[in-house]
Amino acid sequence: MKSVLLPDYNKNVLRAMLGLKISDLELPVLKEDEVLVKTEAAVCNPSDIAFIQGVYNIIKPLPAIPGFEAAGVIVDEGKRVQGLKGKKVSAFVQSNDSGTWSEYFVAKTSDIIILDDKMPDDQAACFTVNPFTAYGMFQKAKHIKTPAIMQNASGSQVASFLRKMAEEAGMEVIDIVRKEETASFLRDEGSKYVLADSDENFDKKLRQLCKKLKPHIAYDAVGGSLSGKMYNSLRPNSEMIVYGGLSNKPMNDLNVMGAIFHNKIISGFNLIDWKASLKEGNFEQISIHLQSKFIEGVYKTKIANTVDIDSILKGLKSYLGNMSAGKLLIKP
C-alpha cells in the first residue's frame, strides 16, 4: 500500500512537512478485533499538523503514518469481527501501528462508525470529530436554555456546526475571528454578530454585545489573552468551555472576581471523555441523527482542496495558508 511516512518530528512545521516521505508498505496483519479499511478519503485537521510537529498529545514510535480521520470501506476483518466486510465507515484512528494518510488503514471496531450508504464520501471523511464535538458541547447550551452563545475561531468547522445548531435552537451567536476578511465572509454568509479581535475597539464591542444578547455559554478554541476577554465579558452564572488551544499560549487575563462573586466557571471538553460518558446506545442514536443532517444537506463540512498522496506537500502548504477556507482531503 502507498502511504505517507513521518520519519522525524519537528516543531518547525515547514521542516516537518518537508520531511514526509511517500513509501510502499506491506499490508498489515490484522489482530482479532481489527478491520482493514480501503481509504476513500482521509482528512487533514489541526491535530494532524500538531502531530507531525511532535506537539500533539499522541506521540507514536517513528517512522509513523500520520492521519487520524478518514472514511472508506472495510475489506477484511479479524477473527473476532463478523459481518462488517463491505460496510462503509468513518473512522478515527490513534493507534501506534496505523494512520489514515494511506491507501489502507487498520482500525479497531471501537474506532469506526458504520455509515448510511447515502452519506457523501467527502463528508464521511470528516465525520467522526467535528460534528460530534459541536453536538456534545452544544448540549450544555440547550440544557441551560441560554439566549445566545459566544465562540471564537468562528471560521472553523466546529464553529460552523455550533452556529447551525444555535440557529436551529433559536439562539443568537457572537462570532469572533482573527481577521476582518474572515469576519466579512461570515457576514456575507448571514452571521449577524461578528467581531475581529484585531479591531482596536474589540473589547468594547464585545462587552456591548454580551450586555445586549446575554450569552451564558462561551466556546474557546484559542486560549491566550482572548480567553480572558471572553470570560470577563460573560454574564454572571456563565460557563466558558475550552476545547482547543490554537494560539499555543496559556489562558491569561482572567478576572478572578468573576469566579468568586459571579459564579462564572471554566470547563474543558474532550470528545473521547464525552463519548465514554454516554449511556449505551446513545452514541449510535446521535450518529444516525447527525448523518441524516449531512444526507439532507443541512450540515456540511467545507472542503477547500483535494490531493492525492503524491501531492501531500503541496496540499499541506495550501491548507496551512488558509485553514478557514476548509478541509484538505487526501485521496489515494
Measured in whole angstroms, the distance separating CA 76 from the mean position of its chain's CA atoms is 28
What is the model's pLDDT at position 104? 97
The answer to whether position 31 is within a domain reads yes
The answer to whether position 287 is within a domain reads no
Are 22 and 138 contained in the same domain? no
Are 134 and 258 contained in the same domain? yes
The answer to whether position 72 is within a domain reads yes
The answer to whether position 13 is within a domain reads yes
H-assigned helices in the chain: 13-18, 46-53, 121-125, 130-144, 157-168, 180-188, 202-213, 225-233, 256-261, 271-277, 282-296, 312-321
Q: At what angle do helices 130-144 and 282-296 cross, to 10 degrees?
A: 110
Are 83 and 173 contained in the same domain? no
The answer to whether position 278 is within a domain reads no
The answer to whether position 291 is within a domain reads no
Are 135 and 265 contained in the same domain? yes
Per-residue confidence of the chain (332 residues) as pLDDT tens digits? 999 999 999 999 999 999 999 999 999 999 999 999 999 999 998 889 999 999 888 999 999 999 999 999 999 999 999 899 999 999 999 999 899 999 999 999 999 999 999 999 899 999 999 999 999 999 999 999 999 999 999 999 999 999 999 999 999 999 999 999 899 999 999 999 999 999 999 999 999 999 999 999 999 999 999 999 999 999 999 999 999 888 889 999 999 989 999 999 999 999 989 999 999 999 999 999 999 999 999 999 999 999 999 999 999 999 998 887 889 999 98
Nearest one of 218, 244, 251, 219 to 233, comparing CA atoms? 218
DSSP state of 243: -
Domain count, the chain: 2
Specify the pairing of strand 239-242 against strand 265-268: parallel
Nearest one of 119, 22, 122, 115 to 63, comparing CA atoms? 22
The answer to whether position 136 is within a domain reads yes
DSSP state of 41: E
Are 104 and 221 contained in the same domain? no
Q: Cβ distance 165 to 135 under 8 Å?
A: yes
Distance between CA atoms of 20 and 6, rounded to whole angstroms?
5
What is the model's pLDDT at position 322? 83
What is the model's pLDDT at position 309? 96
The neighbouring-strand residues paired with 70 are 42, 91
Residue 13, Cβ neighbours under 10 Å: how many?
16
From 272, 288, 312, the end of a domain falls on 272
CATH number of the domain to which 318 belongs: 3.90.180.10
Are 207 and 307 contained in the same domain? no
Backbone angles phi, psi at 271, to 5 degrees: -60, -40
Are 213 and 308 contained in the same domain? no
Are 54 and 70 contained in the same domain? yes
What is the model's pLDDT at position 324? 76
- Expressed as residue numbers, the domain containing 174 is 130-272
Are 15 and 73 contained in the same domain? yes
What is the model's pLDDT at position 248? 81
Question: Angle CA(285)–CA(291)–CA(297) in degrees, nearest 5?
Answer: 145
Residue 103, Cβ neighbours under 10 Å: how many?
17
Are 140 and 111 contained in the same domain? no
Are 89 and 202 contained in the same domain? no
The answer to whether position 285 is within a domain reads no
Q: Record the cell numbers describing residue 229, joined without a space.
A: 476577554
Are 106 and 144 contained in the same domain? no
From 231, 251, 272, the end of a domain falls on 272
What is the model's pLDDT at position 201? 95
CATH number of the domain to which 199 belongs: 3.40.50.720
Residue 102, judged by CB atoms within 10 A of its CB (0-12, 13-18, 19+), counts as buried
Q: Record the cell numbers describing residue 257, joined without a space.
A: 472576581
What is the model's pLDDT at position 76? 97
